[in-house]
Structure 1
Amino acid sequence: MTPQEMETRIVRYGDLRPCKTAFIDAHTPGSDQKENFTIIGGGVSESPDQHVHISIPHGFNIGAAGQPPKCRNSLHSHRTAEVFFVLKGRWRFFWGRWGDAGEVMLEEGDIFNIPTGIFRGFENIGDDYGMIMAILGGDDAGGGVIWAPQVIEDAADHGLVLSEEGKLYDTKKGEALPEGVKLMPLLSEEELKTYPEPTTAEVVPGYVARYWDMVALADRTPAKVIGPDAMLRDRPGFEVALLTRGSATEEMHQHDRPSVLMPVTGHWRVTWEGGSATLAPGDTMSVPEGLMHTAVPSMTGAAALYHIIGTDDPAGSTWHG
């Protein structure tokens, strides 16, 4: 594969194209400044304005959320796995029907394998624009987003309504549901009772991995972060590992399915049969299946990189409570 061909599989941080109208809370005060990015796969955006950088199926989706300080993403759930790692800033994740069942603060590099089937939200609690990178299970990401009822009600007060097909309509722009199309129904009280309300103590130990703990484990071999025998033992349809300078190797290798490289710190030189490229934090690279390659730090200083690859496991429930 030539360098020019591989560049089509690299999304540079500076080239990310945001969508500010991706979800139903795009007009709701406190959530109206967030930006959504769909990097690999179709994602779960409810807006036709969402740009998809790489549409090649990987068995999972890669996306990102960028938010200024005090901006939050409203309470929602997914039918498949949702994993976040912090690229920039400091973030608070919260969960439960009303967002008060539990919470955890994440720093740069930390990763959170959010249990499926639980309402969750997050906000930038840092002082600057923050960015979190996301991995969603399945090629279709579970068919969209399930919103807490109050989110849909609040959105309607600010002009956005959602059809039962998951498409947004902005009544402030004169848009209306087409004839015969119904509004997205609110979850009933009986349905809401099926959504768990785990505490912080129940969630954090098995679903959160801290950056420096992972770095320590990756001193000689890549740290297995998410997987059946990893720090966070789970089978969400993909596996995640962290590489550092100590565990990176020049030895060429290949995978039987596409894999993704996402630097957290430092610059990384990826070499393959046909060329090489340098990745910086925030860049995302899709490595084709069967391609011999290797990734090593290209400069001095701290260097860490997340590696994601799909598995044959279902992309479904990750809550073990």
Structure 2
Amino acid sequence: MGLDQTATLTQAEMEARIVRYGDLRPCKTAFIDAHTPGSDQKENFTIIGGGVSESADQHVHITDTPGFNIGAAGQPPRCRNSLHSHRTAEVFFVLSGRWRFFWGRWGNAGEVVLEEGDIFNIPTGIFRGFENIGTDYGMIMAILGGDDAGGGVIWAPQVIEDAADHGLVLGENGKLYDTKKGQSLPDGIGPMPVLSDEALKAFPEPTTQDVVPNYVARFYDLVALSDRQPARVIGPDALLKDRPGFDVDFITCHSIDPAPYTLDQHEVLMVQKGHWRVTWEGGTTALAPGDTCAVPPGLSHSVTPAMTGDCAMYRVRSTDDPAGRTLNGPSAA
């Protein structure tokens, strides 16, 4: 399935661009901490693009990318994702549950708790982790900048060391090897080097006060802002001013324009709440919470509420901006 510009799509062709929440296929061995106690029950999903998974077992639902990747993480209560950093943008919104995000070399520089619908545009270049602090299984949806999502994950040294104690070794080729299964590093491939103390100095340690006002948007604030028009969430002129390689809008049943429209760029619809209907030249379909729909450039389509009641959606559009940014402000155009 390509993502080239098109004028029409059949029903089957559009369905191939939709990943339903109920069809998501998890990977429980996606990253180096998959055996580490406290992190060994998490599930990772790659929805659009290969993301940054380190496991050959990871299923990719849609391989072609629109300039960014879409993924998700599902975790039971008290399950933690270990401290890591990315070279490009990483944005999360909470689909379900209650989550604590923390950051810094040891995870104690700052933290924020996110509820359902909240969105966090995590600054590039800091170590970050997160855990489900709710009482039920929770899911967070992720947007990663760039077609290749920055070429992988940078782990805090203690994560690599802890993983080795539980049988997982990350090769310098970015692939995982499970010594519990008799696997070992191939000839000529060494282990992923641990960052030196000097290299660690390049990773900022921002406080909660540094991060939250500029990188977090709350669901109910966005609902209020989208009373008559979509709320601009991430972008150079948005609430969270940034240029991570994509723009993010928040729409509700009160702010969506039902008229058909056509774009020159890729658009991904990510339903947070309620049910929506997408209609295009060739068919129509409904989207439910957790569904992801990739609309190609050049396709005339409309998005409307499919049922009465509250509904909310994050809408992601590709841009020509670089797929990364700095802690101190938007990246250059």
For this structure pair, what is the TM-score category when the shorter chain's length is used for normalisation? over 0.9
Shift of 1:157: 0.0
| Structure 1 residue 60 corresponds to structure 2 residue 68 | yes
| Structure 1 residue 35 corresponds to structure 2 residue 46 | no
> How far apart are the structure 1 equivalents of 2:106 and 2:155?
11
- Which residue of 219, 226, 230 corresponds with 1:222? 230
> How far apart are the structure 1 equivalents of 2:231 and 2:117?
13
Verify the 8 A CA contact 2:51 2:149 in the aligned structure 1: yes
Verify the 8 A CA contact 1:236 1:318 in the aligned structure 2: no
Q: Secondary structure at the match of 1:206?
A: helix
| Structure 1 residue 165 corresponds to structure 2 residue 183 | no
What letter is aligned with 1:298?
Answer: A
* Structure-1 residue corresponding to 2:218: 210
| Structure 1 residue 98 corresponds to structure 2 residue 109 | no
> How far apart are the structure 1 equivalents of 2:64 and 2:197?
39
- Which residue of 81, 85, 94 corresponds with 2:93? 85
* Structure-2 residue corresponding to 1:15: 23
What letter is aligned with 1:316?
Answer: G
> How far apart are the structure 2 equivalents of 1:199 and 1:107?
20
Shift of 1:4: 1.1
1:36-75 residue CA offsets vs partner (Å, 9 max, x unmatched): 0000011000000000001122000000000000000000
Provide the aligned C-alpha RMSD in A.
0.7
* Structure-1 residue corresponding to 2:3: none
> How far apart are the structure 1 equivalents of 2:160 and 2:224?
43
- Which residue of 106, 118, 123 corresponds with 1:110? 118
What letter is aligned with 1:192?
Answer: L
Find runs of 4+ consecutive structure 1 residues off by over 4 angstroms: none
Shift of 1:318: 3.5
- Which residue of 123, 130, 135 corresponds with 1:127? 135
* Structure-1 residue corresponding to 2:249: 241
| Structure 1 residue 264 corresponds to structure 2 residue 272 | yes
Residue correspondences, number? 321
Verify the 8 A CA contact 1:234 1:318 in the aligned structure 2: no
**What TM-score does the superposition give when structure 2 sets the normalisation length?**
0.96
> How far apart are the structure 1 equivalents of 2:68 and 2:40?
27
> How far apart are the structure 1 equivalents of 2:272 and 2:212?
21
What letter is aligned with 1:2?
Answer: T
1:139-169 residue CA offsets vs partner (Å, 9 max, x unmatched): 0000000000000000000000000111000
What letter is aligned with 1:277?
Answer: T
Structure 2 unpaired stretches of 5+: 1-8
Verify the 8 A CA contact 2:242 2:325 in the aligned structure 1: no
Shift of 1:135: 0.1
- Percent identity reads 75
Shift of 1:116: 0.3
Verify the 8 A CA contact 1:235 1:318 in the aligned structure 2: no
Verify the 8 A CA contact 1:225 1:241 in the aligned structure 2: yes
| Structure 1 residue 250 corresponds to structure 2 residue 249 | no
Q: Secondary structure at the match of 1:14?
A: helix
**What TM-score does the superposition give when structure 1 sets the normalisation length?**
0.99
1:185-200 matches, cutoff 5 A = 185-200=193-208
Shift of 1:253: 0.6
Answer with 250-259 or 209-218: which moved more.
250-259
1:281-296 matches, cutoff 5 A = 281-296=289-304
1:3-54 residue CA offsets vs partner (Å, 9 max, x unmatched): 1111000000000000000000000000000000000011000000000001
* Structure-1 residue corresponding to 2:286: 278
Q: Secondary structure at the match of 1:131?
A: strand
Q: Secondary structure at the match of 1:142?
A: helix
Structure 1 unpaired stretches of 5+: none
Verify the 8 A CA contact 1:163 1:181 in the aligned structure 2: yes
1:74-119 residue CA offsets vs partner (Å, 9 max, x unmatched): 0000000000000000000000000000000000000000000000
